[in-house]
């Protein structure tokens, strides 16, 4: 069962590994990303951040979608982490079990608008977020579990 899908450009780090995993009671973290499975340095770094007692799975976006659709992940309390809004969109549109998306952090870059302390979006990403929100997904910004969640509809 998918408990939460989080967008965080840092993927697995202290906040995600410990605060979020414990707060939501996840027993498996799925890093869904096209670079990490082929980038040994990133993969090793992510493995080092894994909390004890929690399974860690690293797959491409396409392989993540296949795994979610196959039912192989159903036995877990699954916490999915992606590094972009586009990746979260792909997962959500392909897998109806993805019903809430937590925006935790996206890089500040040229052409992006800052919409919260750590979330920066392009016009295209705004469009994707509006679409997900209009389709009934719970999309919100929340850096850490102790902060109040802010619905994306209140910002966009």
Rounded to 5 degrees, what angle do the CA atoms 92, 111, 45 make?
60
What are residue 103's phi and psi, to 5 degrees?
-95, 115
- What residues contact 20, with CB distance under 8 A and at least 6 apart? 4, 6, 26, 79, 144, 145
User: Which residues are marked as active site?
Assistant: 13
């Amino acid at each position: 069962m998918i408990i939460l899908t989080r967008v965080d450009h840092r993927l697995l780090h202290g906040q995600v590994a410990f605060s979020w995993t414990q707060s939501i009671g996840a027993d498996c973290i799925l890093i869904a990303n096209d670079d990490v499975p082929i980038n040994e340095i990133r993969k090793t770094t992510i493995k080092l951040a894994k909390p004890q007692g929690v399974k860690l799975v690293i797959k491409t976006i396409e392989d993540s979608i296949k795994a979610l659709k196959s039912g192989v992940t159903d036995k877990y309390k699954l916490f999915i982490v992606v590094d972009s809004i586009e990746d979260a969109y792909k997962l959500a549109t392909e897998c109806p079990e993805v019903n809430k998306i937590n925006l935790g952090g996206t890089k500040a870059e040229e052409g992006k608008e800052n919409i919260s302390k750590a979330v920066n979006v392009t016009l295209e990403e705004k469009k994707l977020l509006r679409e997900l929100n209009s389709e009934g997904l719970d999309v919100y910004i929340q850096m850490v579990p102790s902060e109040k969640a802010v619905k994306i509809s209140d910002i966009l």
